[in-house]
């Protein structure tokens, strides 16, 4: 049976179900696009013009007051770079759960498309598995959802190839959301280049499922296949922060750490509000 992907995804497009969620659509535009306009020229000030756009330099050289004129706002290119290596997926009772990643990507995708911007993606594990250049087409959400739920990979996390591909393949004005659990090594130099070229928001995923006290657990690493025993008490007390928390402080980029028990919408909203404050 043939499915019209465009119509199917349009019915799935996220509808605001809370005051906070509905506010994300407007705040996104202010936080990630700002004025969103390029300076074109200066002209004589007319009654009703916004006083904030008065061109003080041109006015100082002339007797009359001049105001700045901007070109129309252009579409923003947004690329979601997300990790689909096995460590992203939670395995309980031989069932794999990708809801945390799926929900975050779905929220971001719908905010971007609802504001009329162009959406692209890069899905990676130890290599770039799939990608799409930015376009304003709701069917891309259907494709992303299909990729996330096809979790039959037996590879390790390697962020470097995805960052290198991103840096070489997309233009400078692209807004980038980088989503991973960041259980990887040797990617800081490439991450620094990416954050220098693009406006980058890093989202660190933490999977939190069951709390075990005074237990010895048999754990299998989903990426390398290694099986080992761990003491739940020792494991909790020796939980060291990942390198990404140190990297983001050095780079000074926007950062969200979230888990499947956190309110991601609230964290994203607060990040947007901070960006608006810094833009003023």
Quote the domain boundaries for residue 169: 77-208+242-279
Q: Are residues 249 and 198 in the same domain?
A: yes
Alpha helices by DSSP H, listed for the chain, are: 5-12, 19-32, 56-61, 99-114, 139-148, 160-169, 188-197, 232-237, 243-251, 264-279
pLDDT digits (tens, 9 = 90+) for 104-124: 999 999 889 888 889 999 999
Q: Are residues 130 and 223 in the same domain?
A: no
pLDDT category at 94 given cuts 50, 70, 90 is: very low
Q: Are residues 52 and 92 in the same domain?
A: no
Q: Are residues 126 and 48 in the same domain?
A: no
Q: Are residues 232 and 161 in the same domain?
A: no
What CA–CA distance (Å, rounded) separates 50 from 46? 9
Report whether pLDDT(272) > 80. yes
Q: Does residue 33 lie within any of the structural domains? A: no
Q: Nearest Cα to 143, choosing from 111, 175, 105?
A: 105
Please work out, in degrees rounded to the nearest 5, the angle formed at the alpha carbon of residue 50 by the alpha carbons of 46 and 54.
75
Report whether pLDDT(222) > 90. no
pLDDT category at 248 given cuts 50, 70, 90 is: very high
- How much of the chain exceeds pLDDT 70, in percent? 70
Q: Does residue 158 lie within any of the structural domains? A: yes
Number of domains comprising the chain: 3
pTM of the complete model: 0.74
Distance, C-alpha 95 to centroid of its chain: 26
Q: Are residues 174 and 204 in the same domain?
A: yes
CATH of residue 91: 3.40.50.410
Q: Are residues 91 and 127 in the same domain?
A: yes
pLDDT digits (tens, 9 = 90+) for 164-192: 999 999 998 899 999 999 988 899 999 99
Contact 145, 103 (CB under 8 A): no
Q: Are residues 130 and 65 in the same domain?
A: no
Q: Are residues 105 and 235 in the same domain?
A: no
pLDDT digits (tens, 9 = 90+) for 54-76: 898 899 888 899 988 876 566 78
């Amino acid at each position: 049976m043939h499915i019209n992907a465009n119509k199917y995804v349009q019915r799935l497009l996220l509808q605001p179900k809370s005051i906070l969620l509905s506010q994300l659509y407007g705040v996104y535009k202010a936080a990630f696009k700002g004025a969103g306009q390029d300076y074109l020229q200066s002209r004589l000030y007319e009654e009703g013009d916004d006083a904030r756009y008065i061109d003080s330099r041109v006015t100082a050289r002339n007797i009359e007051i001049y105001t700045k004129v901007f070109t129309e706002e252009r579409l923003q290119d947004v690329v979601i770079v997300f990790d689909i290596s096995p460590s992203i997926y939670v395995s309980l009772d031989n069932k794999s759960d990708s809801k945390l990643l799926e929900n975050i990507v779905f929220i971001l995708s719908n905010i971007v498309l609802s504001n009329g911007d162009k959406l692209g993606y890069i899905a990676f594990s130890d290599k770039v598995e799939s990608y799409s250049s930015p376009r304003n087409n709701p069917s891309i959400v259907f494709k992303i959802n299909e990729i996330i739920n096809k979790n039959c990979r037996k590879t390790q996390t390697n962020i470097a190839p995805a960052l290198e591909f991103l840096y070489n393949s997309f233009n400078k004005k692209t807004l980038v959301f980088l989503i991973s659990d960041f259980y990887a090594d040797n990617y800081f130099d490439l991450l620094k280049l990416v954050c220098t070229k693009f406006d980058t928001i890093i989202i660190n995923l933490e999977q939190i499922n069951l709390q075990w006290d005074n237990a010895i657990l048999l754990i299998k690493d989903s990426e390398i296949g290694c099986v080992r025993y761990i003491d739940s008490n020792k494991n909790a007390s020796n939980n060291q922060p990942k390198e990404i928390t140190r990297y983001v402080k050095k780079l000074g980029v926007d950062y969200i750490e979230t888990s499947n028990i956190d309110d991601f919408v609230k964290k994203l909203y607060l990040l947007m509000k901070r960006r608006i404050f810094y833009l003023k």
